[in-house]
Amino acid sequence: MTPISDIQSVMHPAGADAAIIYQFTWVLFVGGTVIFAIVMGLLALAMRRQARPITPGVWILGAGIAFPVIVLTALLTWSTWRTGQLVPQTSHKALSISVTGKMWWWEVRYRDPTSNREIISANEIVIPVGESVYLGLTASDVIHSLWVPSLAGKRDMIPGRVTGLNLRADKPGTYRGQCAEYCGEQHARMAFHVIALPRPEFDAWLARQAQPAVPADTTVLQRGREAFLAQQCQTCHTIRGVTDVAPQLDARIADAPRLGPDLTHIGSRRHIAAGTLRNHRGTLAGWIADPQAIKTGVFMPPSPDLDGETLRALATYLEHLK
């Protein structure tokens, strides 16, 4: 598996669009610095007592009109040409992933090519490296914005509307992204990761995600699963093969804003709570016991009456769902 990197920077481009944005950043920064230095130099010259007077007409024509027109025309031409090289609209055969922004996490939906069933995950967007991928974006409550600086620019996610973002990762790796539109109390803890895998690894990952949850085959795991159901976790969380409800009910509640992440393969994710904590038994137990202490305002209620043994079994069960 690719090691986790928390790189989230426009200065470390790893995709086609990010490389263009990176180039813009430098051209504007260096260009702006040079012009600033020239202006300051001229200012210093003008302030010298014995400066030779220059005809005002030369200044107005040269520095006031000709120079800005030349610089701005050059910038416009160059940026229009470079923008034309952004990752093109993907063909209908390209991989399409739906991402929904929610307070304060990301729901990620794929379509399994073999069964054509929908696979629902959270907070991690897994993509094949070197391929253009289309992200269909929306939100279920307020406006969010998806931004993964190492790969592409920002795109707003608006309730009731679908916006699109094409991106391509040119190097395998894990790239951190962040909600880029203030969306309430936990906006800062609304992160996600894009994981770019070589095609065969991606296919294997997708096939694994399409499977229902692995069975609870030991006493501890069974106890964990029972605790999950006894605590009514299935009111908000799905574990495919364990908590399935009738399809028509499923469709009706699927977009309920308060619904929590699908946990079918939660053990395979690197983080929980939208990039807030590394994912392991300890953090899972801490989160279940008191999510409000970690992320105040989230919809998940605390479970203060769970005894230590049950909590450990429940966390072990979730960790086991790879």
Residues 300 and 141: their CA atoms lie apart, in Å, by 16
Nearest CB to ligand CUA, comparing residues 129 and 137:
137
Nearest CB to ligand CUA, comparing residues 99 and 285:
99
Give the range of 5-13, 181-189, 287-295, 301-309 binding ligand CUA by CB under 6 A: 181-189
Minimum CB separation from ligand CUA for residue 71, in Å?
Answer: 36
Nearest CB to ligand CUA, comparing residues 221 and 274:
274
Cα distances (angstroms) measured from residue 73 to each of 11, 26, 68, 79, 191: 26, 18, 8, 10, 38
- Strand pairing report for 124-128 and 191-197: parallel
Can you say whether the dihedral through the CA atoms of 119, 121, 1, 228 is positive or negative? Answer: negative
Nearest CB to ligand CUA, comparing residues 146 and 315:
146
Contact between 187 and ligand CUA per CB under 6 A: yes
Contact between 190 and ligand CUA per CB under 6 A: yes
Residues 308 and 133: their CA atoms lie apart, in Å, by 44
The DSSP call for residue 66 is: I
| CB of 272 closer than 8 Å to CB of 283 | yes
Residue 212: half-sphere exposure toward Cβ, Cα within 13 Å: 8
Contact between 78 and ligand CUA per CB under 6 A: no
- Strand pairing report for 133-139 and 118-122: unpaired
Of 13, 101, 149, 275, the residue at the interface with ligand CUA (CB under 6 A) is 101
Give the range of 67-75, 178-186, 253-261, 282-290 binding ligand CUA by CB under 6 A: 178-186
Nearest CB to ligand CUA, comparing residues 272 and 306:
272
Minimum CB separation from ligand CUA for residue 142, in Å?
Answer: 7
Nearest CB to ligand CUA, comparing residues 100 and 132:
100
Contact between 267 and ligand CUA per CB under 6 A: no
Contact between 181 and ligand CUA per CB under 6 A: yes
- Binding to ligand CUA (CB under 6 A) within 134-163 occurs at 144
Contact between 169 and ligand CUA per CB under 6 A: no
| CB of 302 closer than 8 Å to CB of 291 | yes
Cα distances (angstroms) measured from residue 136 to each of 133, 160, 162: 10, 12, 6
Tell me the number of residues near ligand CUA by CB under 6 A. Answer: 9
Give the range of 38-46, 176-184, 206-214, 277-285 binding ligand CUA by CB under 6 A: 176-184
Q: Give the DSSP per-residue string, 110-172.
A: EE-TTT--EEEEESEEEEETTS-EEEEEEESSS-EEEE-TTT---EEE-BT--EEEEE-BSS-
- Strand pairing report for 118-122 and 105-111: antiparallel
Nearest CB to ligand CUA, comparing residues 82 and 109:
109
Q: What residues make contact with ligand CUA under the rule CB under 6 A?
A: 101, 104, 144, 179, 181-183, 187, 190
